[in-house]
Structure 1
């Protein structure tokens, strides 16, 4: 048995986010630093008004419904709508079609934090949701049906690290020979529970997420999905041009605190990711930070970047599209692959004069990086869930 790891390539990308429907819309907003945050309606009597969030626009929802063959206004569970749309886009981007022989035994793995949140909230409010309609596994089952995959299909729920955990599961199964193709990523819908929880923690408010700045204060909750098609080297078709090679997606859980990040746990996950990718910190060209805009998270990440990754360019997509919760790592992974394709690092949507000293943060305009080779994408979550994916240029 060969000790050489099976090489895994990203051949298709799909996304839906506050930027709109499609990975191209996401890349356009990231490249221009265009944020489309809206004021959220108070969810309970004592909630302060003016809280900002990210919502998938109505026209993007209608585009997703059409792609799924559903009429405008048709009832659809949001998590499934987002995940299935992004999966169909990713499959088409890979040059495949639903039901294609290449997809017949494909793995489907979707990370999510809140699953079918709107269905559960309907049930709690007595709005008639069926008992089975809020089961999270219905998300992966729906994606599998949409793309015509009959291989293993499951959901992982590891808070805001979920999508990168899904990538880790895919790596293990593809390298074990379970299948040669995976449709993998993350999704999360708008969740009333989340908004109430963040409000009680005073973590959301009237100013947007400002990652790694002196004035950072609030997280900007958001929604959407990102999906990647992974193929082993032997499953690649003639003419396919991969976006990236996926080297690792390393997972740790320090379980140090229910909400606060732990520096030692985050640092350990960074070391594990580099070890599994066979790299040193100096090899990393670009880091897509978790970058929530919160005081504690950004301080820990920023210190690690300054100490261990001084040459890496850093960017944080949450300043543009907000925090997609369980889909955050998927958005970062899609953006990382697009960066490798375009050899550009999109800017963090913050005032350059406000950036914390010592941060090599890309701001203002995209940074051209013709020699970009290795890109890291971070995703961390409540409960000490940490997961980091590492990608390499395919050429």
Structure 2
């Protein structure tokens, strides 16, 4: 059985707009599109920044999915289905393609269809008009949009959800359940999420500044990223893959509700490397979780400084914000593009303000002609840790 798994298609929608191209352009330019969020309760401070998918991108997404959905779906579904359709087109496939009929569909999310509950609580809709709360409807909608009749999953693993979805899909492809998977993650703007972060004093009027001395706030965002995974046999004859998905390591340290546990995070790094037979020195670049919070960046940065001294580190949340359950998918899409372009985009911080002794890419994209292995970190509340490692696709991987 062919156990090599390749990424053959990418799809993205984010505050940069609809599509992979504007997402990558914003990352390479370290261009932020944060905006002030409307206060949601009397005690919420004004001026809090967040990332929202532009209205023009929402319209473009709705237009693209209109032929595959029976009713106007909610934002999370719009984002996921749009990204999935872009990803399969990028892979040279069309909805209902024979290659997709038995495909695995796996979507990670943090808040799911949270706006259903919010509409009910706020009295904007009654139960009959909500369209249902089940987050399974997100993955089911993706499966319907791409014409897949294989296993369908929605996973909730807080902000590690997308990488856990990648792990699930990788295991199923290697087990021979299918030879193609449509996998990623999404989250839409959630009032309960914003209120929760506000109560923790984790959001504010300054945008996310990962690994900087002055970092303080997370910048909540929204969007979706989807990847098409195919076995080497299925990928043969198609476009040259972006990358090979080597492994995804997942653990849960269950130490604290919100604070990261350094031992658990270190263990996840160790597992990821061991699972694909690599050493830390083999990793050329890391897309850090990099939320811009004091605790996360200190924990993650200390690991980079001690164990990954030669890796180029970047944190895209400084540019597009924290896509919550979709954060790992955004990092995975960016990691694959980095391998394709041999380019590591910068972190949107002042290079003179970097706190730790790490090789944080700032200012301009860094060309890495011999880029081979790229790591993508995703961690979440409740002790969830998930790390994916991608390798450069060999010249013959998609050529048969």
Which TM-score band (shorter chain)? over 0.9
TM-score normalised over the length of structure 1: 0.97
Which whole-Å deviations, capped at 9, do the CAs of 1:252-310 have from their partners, x for residues lacking one? 00000000000000000000111112111100000000000000000010000010000
Kept in 2, the 8 Å contact 1:228–1:334? The answer is yes
Q: Is 116-125 or 346-355 further displaced after alignment?
A: 116-125
Which whole-Å deviations, capped at 9, do the CAs of 1:11-70 have from their partners, x for residues lacking one? 000000000000111000000000000000001010000000000000000000110127
2:386 equivalent in structure 1? 387
Selected match of 1:124 from 99, 103, 121:
121
Cα distance in 2, alignment partners of residues 239 and 138 from structure 1: 31
1:308 equivalent to 2:340? Answer no
1:42 equivalent in structure 2? 39
2:398 equivalent in structure 1? none
1:90 equivalent to 2:57? Answer no
Give 5+ residue unaligned stretches, structure 2. Answer: 395-400
RMSD: 1.3
1:152 equivalent in structure 2? 151
Kept in 2, the 8 Å contact 1:120–1:129? The answer is no
1:226 equivalent in structure 2? 225
1:110 equivalent in structure 2? 107
Structure 1 residue 117 displacement after superposition: 1.2
Kept in 1, the 8 Å contact 2:301–2:356? The answer is no
Kept in 2, the 8 Å contact 1:122–1:129? The answer is no
Secondary structure of the residue aligned to 2:300 is helix
Selected match of 1:15 from 12, 17, 24:
12
Secondary structure of the residue aligned to 2:132 is helix
2:342 equivalent in structure 1? 343
Flag as ranges the 4+ runs of structure 1 deviating above 2 A. 123-126, 128-132
2:188 equivalent in structure 1? 189
Secondary structure of the residue aligned to 1:111 is strand
1:60 equivalent in structure 2? 57
Secondary structure of the residue aligned to 2:306 is helix
Which whole-Å deviations, capped at 9, do the CAs of 1:229-274 have from their partners, x for residues lacking one? 0000111141321000000111000000000000000000000111
Cα distance in 2, alignment partners of residues 186 and 128 from structure 1: 28
Secondary structure of the residue aligned to 2:239 is coil
Structure 1 residue 75 displacement after superposition: 4.2
1:29 equivalent to 2:2? Answer no
